[in-house]
Amino acid sequence: MKKLNVCLVTLTVSPDSQDGSAKFIRGIFEYLKRQPNINVTLITAEWNLSLNEPHIVQKKVVKKSYFWIPQFTLEIIKFLKNNTFDIIHGNGPKGSLPLLLLGKGHKFISTLHDLGPYETQFSLIPIEKYLFKYVAKKASFITTCSNSIRKSIKKNIPGVNLNTIFNLYSAIEDKFKPYPSEAHRLKLDLGIEGPILLYIGRIALYKGVADIITAYKIAKKSIPNLNLVLGGKP
């Protein structure tokens, strides 16, 4: 059986970058590497670390301001035109930008990791909201990481077909594992007694924080000494 040649295009990837989107695409990459019928290549920019890993291509870019945009875009377009892939998958609006410029007849998948451009102020690119919308409309399929984000994409961009949006649960943070002694000391410092429901991440609607609070209130009726700890920033 002929193997599928898959290319993942992303501005950042873990461990060179530690943002959620970088870890998410890394999870997809690691999964595809294990598939016997798939050859996967990931192309990205180099920001902090030279990964020197098989099947990962890093392109050096100017890190100052927005100068990386044309450089990264041109490097990706050149790479894709010199190589043949069955599936091209862009990570986020910035990772998918070069795919929009490949020309007619080039289809692609895009992962839209969150609704950040619509619901927060952390985006570094002023036009990212419009880029997000354009990518969502042009991608043949969209992948995201929760059903709430899937529904929010449809809500914010009505022209998108909900049947083309699929959820992938791909990344697990190794840091989030039990540390009993540290946890005990922290509970003492915070004056907490009883079990804890812990959330760590951005405090934003698209993260489902409101649903976590609702679930906590329901659970507390059965577990009176249950505590909720939220860690993050808007």
Residue with tokens 């540390």: 179
**Closest CA relative to residue 5, chosen from 120, 84, 98:** 84
Question: In tens digits, what is the pLDDT along the chain, a chain of 234 residues?
Answer: 789 999 999 999 999 998 888 988 998 999 999 999 999 999 999 999 999 999 999 999 988 777 888 999 999 999 999 999 999 999 999 999 999 999 877 899 999 988 777 766 655 566 888 899 999 999 999 999 888 889 889 988 988 999 999 998 765 666 677 788 988 898 899 899 999 998 888 887 777 788 899 999 999 999 999 999 998 887
Tally of residues, the chain: 234
pLDDT at 21: 86
List of long-range contacts for 23-28, beta carbons under 8 Å, 24+ apart: 23/171, 23/173, 24/91, 24/111, 24/113, 24/145, 24/168, 24/170, 24/171, 25/91, 25/95, 25/111, 26/171, 27/168, 27/170, 27/171, 27/172, 28/89, 28/111, 28/168, 28/170
147 C-beta neighbours (distance < 10 Å), count = 11
Model pLDDT, residue 225: 95
Q: Indicate the domain borders of the chain.
A: 4-167, 180-231
Sheet holding 165-167, edge to edge: 56-60, 38-46, 4-10, 87-91, 109-111, 141-144, 165-167
Tokens representing 9 are 């295009």
Phi-psi region of 65 (alpha: psi -120 to 50; beta: other; left: phi over 0): left
Location of structure tokens 């809500």: 155
CATH of domain 4-167: 3.40.50.2000
**At how many degrees (to 10) do helices 92-100 and 68-81 cross?**
60
Bridge partners of 85, per DSSP, are none
pTM across the whole model = 0.80
